[in-house]
Structure 1
């Protein structure tokens, strides 16, 4: 159990353009869309903001483009207390822009594919930062922004840093390479799409086989239905909170950040998942991937409000 320390998130702050659509798109069809606004996003930036807003120390490593949105995007993370001193700025490169289509209580995210990678520049200060972290968090694609990431992550794990992997299928590249991250990780978050992608018909049993006799924690997120917390002792269901969802963007990012914060506060995995489910409920109650970046008090107030239901 982690009792103190800090988190390093590998990634970048991204611009999300929000639209509301009247109907779901079909192949060859058209839909009416109303532009709403742009908001700061990016999974790793969302998670970092949650960790810091809840009161734990958090740092970001990653490459940012240089355009009119660079400073607002960096400030959007820094205002929650995330240290952004280690971000790399690449002149002449634009920042990433995703489109988020809101439909009822759900959304469709159009991810912009970039023809280049904005790598993390290797410096002694960044290596020291990573070596001192309690958790390093990212998805498989963003971990590749680290120089010689396999070697570096292996060294970090051997030194006691816990590697947390968001096993989002859209960040997967090659299953043999993905397996490196799954085997090395101390904590892995899978949504249902990831369970299907990596384990197929084996489903939950495939997750338990991955854990084996190790200390690995696997989190099987189930949206409004909560999460399964899986360890070598089996899986425990933690229910979600029955709030009205306005925008589910960032719910998984919020869960991961709140889960790490709770472990840093000496909670066990099931307790941490209960807290993280509540934080996710706060997140989906408002528009924007950063809406889960709230104080610990706001999360515990929601937990108290629903304590006779959940």
Structure 2
């Protein structure tokens, strides 16, 4: 297994997104006609890896895909972005697929078949332990089994920083939560992790961040869409405003944000500085359609207005 140090190792999902445009989403038992099928590379892990690599990070992806056309598409896309795909495991199940219908307003309905993502195991993580221990940052999501995420947390080196986006949200074991530096959540994910407790999950992102810190996370970042983000650690909180852009498509923008944030933390940025950069990356990503194909280069981020 690889042992050289990477700026960022992303451990997570890689999906093929199968997208059909519809005039309206079907009701139960109903058939509607749609547009031609479009296939795009996706998955939160794959998205984060592409976003970071396109910015210039030395990035590796640890994931599992099927030995099929969708798996080959995902691997080719990662390599084209500059991601080290040697850790990607092939086989065991078909590549994960997201079936997406999108109506004219942009609202969508999504059904995910995890496929090979669900077969990324703790044993796979243990085999890759030298890779994780040598990384500056390891970034995780919850589109792979939670026990696999926990194994990755245990495998990181003493100087490796862990970034976790708990999406889709699920209760986190104490040792996983304690490793998060930061825990990256949007409003929905924050409320879910706080169990809807009115005392903690009101309408104040600052209160959400304080509550999540109180539950054990080392630091917290709450993404706020066009309004920017909130960064919080034991020393205090910093509100980072959004960047004014003309949004075209928000698909995958959160993954672009997290990939950029993880990379900048690995370069030595403090949390607030890394969040400011990540907000700019997320803003650039929404100005173009799609997920991975919308992710900016470092030069494109620098060209955004202040």
TM-score, with structure 2 as normaliser: 0.84
Following superposition, the deviation at residue 240 of structure 1 comes to 1.7
Q: How does 1:13-24 map onto structure 2 within 5 Å?
A: 13-23=14-24
**Given that residues 229 and 269 in structure 1 are in contact (C-alpha distance below 8 angstroms), is that contact kept between their aligned partners in structure 2?**
yes
RMSD after superposition? 2.8
**Given that residues 25 and 31 in structure 1 are in contact (C-alpha distance below 8 angstroms), is that contact kept between their aligned partners in structure 2?**
yes
Change in CA separation of 1:115 and 1:88 when aligned onto 2, cut-off 3 Å? closer
Q: How does 1:210-229 map onto structure 2 within 5 Å?
A: 210-212=212-214, 216-229=218-231
**C-alpha separation in 1, matches of 2:208 and 2:279:** 24
Following superposition, the deviation at residue 137 of structure 1 comes to 0.9
Partner of 1:272: 274
3-state secondary structure, aligned to 2:221: strand
Partner of 2:65: 64
Following superposition, the deviation at residue 190 of structure 1 comes to 0.7
Partner of 2:244: 242
For residues 205-260 of structure 1, the C-alpha deviation after alignment (integer angstroms, 9 at most, x for no partner) is 34313325988221111112211111223322212222222221110000001112
**C-alpha separation in 2, matches of 1:21 and 1:245:** 21
Following superposition, the deviation at residue 132 of structure 1 comes to 0.5
For residues 78-132 of structure 1, the C-alpha deviation after alignment (integer angstroms, 9 at most, x for no partner) is 11110001111115x2211112333457442513144772225548762111100
State whether structure 2 residue 86 is matched by structure 1 residue 85.
yes
TM-score, with structure 1 as normaliser: 0.83
3-state secondary structure, aligned to 1:53: helix
**Given that residues 246 and 287 in structure 2 are in contact (C-alpha distance below 8 angstroms), is that contact kept between their aligned partners in structure 1?**
yes
Q: How does 1:143-162 map onto structure 2 within 5 Å?
A: 144=146, 146=148, 150=150, 153-156=153-156, 159-162=158-161
Stretches of structure 1 that go unaligned for 5 or more consecutive residues are none
Partner of 1:133: 135
Change in CA separation of 1:27 and 1:222 when aligned onto 2, cut-off 3 Å? farther
3-state secondary structure, aligned to 1:52: helix
Following superposition, the deviation at residue 301 of structure 1 comes to 0.4
Partner of 1:47: 48
Following superposition, the deviation at residue 293 of structure 1 comes to 3.1
Following superposition, the deviation at residue 133 of structure 1 comes to 0.8
Q: Mean Cα displacement is larger for which, 48-57 or 277-286? A: 277-286
**C-alpha separation in 2, matches of 1:294 and 1:164:** 21
**Given that residues 208 and 234 in structure 1 are in contact (C-alpha distance below 8 angstroms), is that contact kept between their aligned partners in structure 2?**
no
**C-alpha separation in 2, matches of 1:300 and 1:105:** 31
Stretches of structure 2 that go unaligned for 5 or more consecutive residues are none
Following superposition, the deviation at residue 36 of structure 1 comes to 5.2
State whether structure 2 residue 200 is matched by structure 1 residue 194.
no
**Given that residues 184 and 258 in structure 2 are in contact (C-alpha distance below 8 angstroms), is that contact kept between their aligned partners in structure 1?**
yes
3-state secondary structure, aligned to 2:69: coil
Give the number of equivalent residue pairs.
293
**Given that residues 140 and 178 in structure 1 are in contact (C-alpha distance below 8 angstroms), is that contact kept between their aligned partners in structure 2?**
no
Q: Mean Cα displacement is larger for which, 229-238 or 127-136? A: 229-238
